Amino acid sequence: MSAAREPIAVIGTGYVGLVTAAGFAELGSEVWCVDIDAAKVERLKAGEVPIYEPGLEELLARNRERMHFSTTLDGALEAARLLFVAVGTPPTYSGDADLSAVHAVVDAIPASDRHALVMKSTVPAGTGAALARVMGERGRGALQYVSCPEFLKEGSAVKDFMHPDRVVVGDSGGWAGDAVVDLYAPLQAPLVRTDVASAEMVKLASNAFLATKISFINEIANVCEETGADVVEVARGMGLDDRIGPKFLQAGIGFGGSCFPKDVDALKQLAGNSGYHFQLLTAVIEVNDLQKRRVINKLHRHLGSLAGRRVALLGLAFKPNTDDMREASSLVLSARLQADGAQIAAFDPVAEEQARALVSGIEFAASPLDAVRDADAVVLVTEWQQFIDLDWAEVAAAMRGNLLVDGRNALDSDTIRAAGLLYEGIGRR
């Protein structure tokens, strides 16, 4: 790649920031990474990768000489004009996005007509306009602002950076929007060049739509259970319609993660703050909350009281190929099971460390077989390939009972039954 690529700064080196930084370094930019987490910065400087994301370690290693890590902005401000902001925007108690980290970044940037903020963090529509107003009031109106929302998925983030479905750039004219478009040009992705508020809304609306699709198929699954239909067959039949498409039509125990729950809530609150009642999203959220608890009903139906019963959870992360535990369905499940008196053993290939910080009172097993040993029931919570490939006859032999709840409809029911287990999917015959 050419050495003439624009140098950039990335503020916040989490899942989005680190992948974005490494991705742009791979495309040839010098990248100054800034994070307030000093321990994380030290690890990055030492060549360690603080998160689990397939392909990221290799990408960082390959581009190490172009990447600089610091806890302060000084070097970044000197070297780069484009300051990508990728700090967290977690939910507040009210459901609105907490923009305090974004404000901290804005406050730390001095008056400048040379720099632009490029917002990668997911923020409510209207944030760019609000920040521009604040910066204007503080005599820093010359700082440019670009909304460039991120659509990468944990677990395939590196691939998603390199092959995005689209790049969205929202600005109000000026050099910075063009510079961001140039940075992404080698990826040859469809470009949506628009205004700031629309770019912000593309992100929220996309996540809300995907979450709606999941809650929709989950409700269909629940109706299938009442009517004798099989949701896997139904979803296959629906998904072949290219107006619908097969993705996000897998019924299961609901969505989690650091984005969908908070972004759906944030859009609902954003609408509510403007006086609009977003009824559909209220239902999407409620369906998702209830869906996580339906597994408990299935366990009760087969086992009666769960007091003293041993339940094995296979998978803890909110989805496969990540160690992210934010809003993972396993958190709700383990809390509900413990409240009902069950003993829980759990195994996850990579998320144990994160889970230990969030869950207490459960046994962390060293392997899937250790987790299922003497279990009355096994629940597949996260569809890691390792679980799909398990020797289920071996699992059946290690268990005390014979109930398998496939919380992701990821297993072949015939294989499970052939192993001597009782298969319970979500919305399956």
Residue positions annotated with a catalytic role: 259
Smallest gap from Cβ 32 to ligand NAD, in A, equals 12
Give the binding site for ligand NAD (CB under 6 A).
Answer: 11-17, 34-37, 40, 86-89, 101, 104-105, 120-122, 150, 152, 154, 258-259
Smallest gap from Cβ 36 to ligand NAD, in A, equals 4
Smallest gap from Cβ 139 to ligand NAD, in A, equals 21
* Contact criterion met (CB below 8 Å) for 202 and 148: no
Between residues 30 and 200, which has the closer beta carbon with respect to ligand NAD? 200
Please state the φ and ψ torsions of residue 241, each to the nearest 5 degrees: -75, 115
Residue with token string 């995907």: 210
Between residues 125 and 312, which has the closer beta carbon with respect to ligand NAD? 125
Between residues 39 and 280, which has the closer beta carbon with respect to ligand NAD? 39
C-alpha pair distances (Å), 141 with each of 43, 113, 115, 136, 310: 36, 8, 11, 4, 61
Smallest gap from Cβ 263 to ligand NAD, in A, equals 7
Please, which residues bridge with residue 194 across strands? 170
Between residues 318 and 387, which has the closer beta carbon with respect to ligand NAD? 318
Between residues 37 and 57, which has the closer beta carbon with respect to ligand NAD? 37
Between residues 89 and 329, which has the closer beta carbon with respect to ligand NAD? 89
Which tokens sit at 391? 């020797």
Residue nearest to ligand NAD (CB): 14
Please, which residues bridge with residue 84 across strands? 10, 118
Please, which residues bridge with residue 346 across strands? 313, 364
Between residues 383 and 406, which has the closer beta carbon with respect to ligand NAD? 383
Smallest gap from Cβ 210 to ligand NAD, in A, equals 12
Smallest gap from Cβ 123 to ligand NAD, in A, equals 7
Smallest gap from Cβ 373 to ligand NAD, in A, equals 34
C-alpha radius of gyration, the chain, whole number: 23
* Contact criterion met (CB below 8 Å) for 209 and 414: no
Between residues 120 and 428, which has the closer beta carbon with respect to ligand NAD? 120
* Contact criterion met (CB below 8 Å) for 84 and 13: no
Smallest gap from Cβ 101 to ligand NAD, in A, equals 4
The number of residues making up the chain comes to 429
Q: Determine the Cα–Cα distance for residues 210 and 248; give it in Å rounded to an integer.
A: 7
Which tokens sit at 346? 């759990």
